[in-house]
């Protein structure tokens, strides 16, 4: 079966712009979570959605938001981009409570200039 | 925030040798997972060990968990050049309402042919 698909793979944006990233989970997986990876802060949890509801949110400013659609696809949005938002954004899907581990997508590499 | 530290931060070995990575964490957990990441791409789930398990094997991988010391180790036996990657431990904390992983800083493993 198809894996987790993230689009786009690469993105270059200018400070102050906004960006939307997309994640399509494995078919049947209802949980989608997002992570930010930077050299300085490592892998940090952004938020998790399950059946269109946000269940958890990490310690990120309100400029970071997300949503999940009825088909479990998820989007995350970052508004008013800052240079420090440059990172690899990863999404992960799981069947339920994630007790079997998570399947990650290949990520979206965002560069803010 | 990151759960804890991984040790060592970097490890260089010859093909055929064993590689051991250690992970420490701070909270009470449901399970601990290990992931591999090649060159800034997505994370690949390797193995999950539950809090009531002490040791688990999967192919050339052996994971141990000591909840009293809040630590885990990943052993890769008979390493291959293809094992060159970054390895991350991640914890699923008891306090989590949904799916959320807290990652360690990672160990960069280089296996020389």
For A8-76, the DSSP string reads: -SEEEE-TT--EEEEEEPPTT--EEEEEEEETTTEEEEEEEEETTEEEEE-S--TTEEEEE-TTS-EEE
Q: Which residue would you say has higher pLDDT here, B1 or B93?
A: B93
Instruction: Walk across the sheet containing A19-24 and list its strands.
Output: A5-7, A19-24, A74-78, A64-68
Judging contacts by C-beta atoms under 8 Å, the chain A residues touching residue B33 are: 101-102
Residue B1's pLDDT band (cuts 50, 70, 90) = very low
Query: What's the 3-state SS for B19-73?
Result: EEEEEECCCCEEEEEEEEECCCCCEEEEEEEECCCCEEEECCEEEEEECCCCEEE
Query: How far does the CA of residue A24 sit from the closest CA of chain B (Å)?
Result: 14
A48, A55, A101 member nearest B48 (Cβ): A101
Residue B97's pLDDT is what?
Answer: 74
Strands A42-50 and A31-38, by their bridges, are antiparallel
C-alpha–C-alpha distance, residues B96 and B93, integer Å: 6
Residue B99's pLDDT band (cuts 50, 70, 90) = confident
SS3 B81: helix
C-alpha–C-alpha distance, residues A16 and A14, integer Å: 6
CB contact under 8 Å between B45 and A101, yes or no, is yes
CB contact under 8 Å between A44 and B99, yes or no, is no
Phi, psi (degrees; rounded to nearest 5) at A83? -55, -35
CB contact under 8 Å between A97 and B40, yes or no, is no
Q: How many C-beta atoms surround the C-beta of residue A5 within 10 A?
A: 15
Indicate if the pLDDT at residue B86 is higher than 80.
yes
Residue in chain B lying closest to A55 (CA): B98
Judging contacts by C-beta atoms under 8 Å, the chain B residues touching residue A90 are: 42-43
Q: Which residue would you say has higher pLDDT here, B54 or A100?
A: B54
**Average pLDDT of the segment spanning A61-76:** 97
Residue A97's pLDDT band (cuts 50, 70, 90) = low
Residue A37's pLDDT band (cuts 50, 70, 90) = very high
Q: Is A103 on the interface with B (CB under 8 A)?
A: yes
A90, A97, A103 member nearest B45 (Cβ): A103
Tell me the percentage of chain A whose pLDDT exceeds 90. Answer: 84
CB contact under 8 Å between B101 and A102, yes or no, is yes
Residue in chain B lying closest to A44 (CA): B1
Residue A98's pLDDT band (cuts 50, 70, 90) = low
CB contact under 8 Å between A97 and B106, yes or no, is no
Residue A1's pLDDT is what?
Answer: 60
Tell me the percentage of chain B whose pLDDT exceeds 90. Answer: 83
C-alpha–C-alpha distance, residues B23 and A65, integer Å: 31
């Amino acid at each position: 079966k198809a894996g987790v698909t993230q689009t786009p793979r690469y993105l270059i944006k200018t400070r102050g712009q906004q960006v939307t990233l997309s994640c399509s989970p494995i078919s049947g997986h209802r949980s989608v979570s997002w992570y930010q990876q930077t050299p300085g802060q490592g892998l940090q949890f952004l938020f998790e959605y399950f059946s269109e509801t946000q269940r958890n949110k990490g310690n990120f400013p309100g400029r970071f938001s997300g949503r999940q659609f009825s088909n479990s696809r998820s989007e995350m949005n970052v508004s008013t981009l800052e240079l420090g938002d440059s990172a690899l954004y990863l999404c992960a899907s799981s069947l339920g409570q994630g007790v079997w581990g998570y399947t990650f997508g290949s990520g979206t590499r965002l560069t803010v200039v | 925030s990151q759960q804890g530290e991984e040790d060592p931060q970097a490890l260089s070995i010859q093909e055929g040798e064993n590689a051991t990575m250690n992970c420490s964490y701070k909270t009470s957990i449901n399970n601990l997972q290990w992931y591999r990441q090649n060159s800034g791409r997505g994370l690949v789930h390797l193995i999950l060990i539950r809090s009531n398990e002490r040791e688990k094997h999967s192919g050339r991988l052996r994971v141990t968990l000591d909840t009293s010391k809040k630590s885990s180790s990943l052993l890769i036996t008979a390493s291959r050049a293809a094992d060159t990657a970054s390895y991350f431990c991640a914890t699923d904390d008891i306090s989590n309402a949904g799916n959320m992983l807290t990652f360690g800083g990672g160990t960069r493993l280089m296996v020389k042919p």
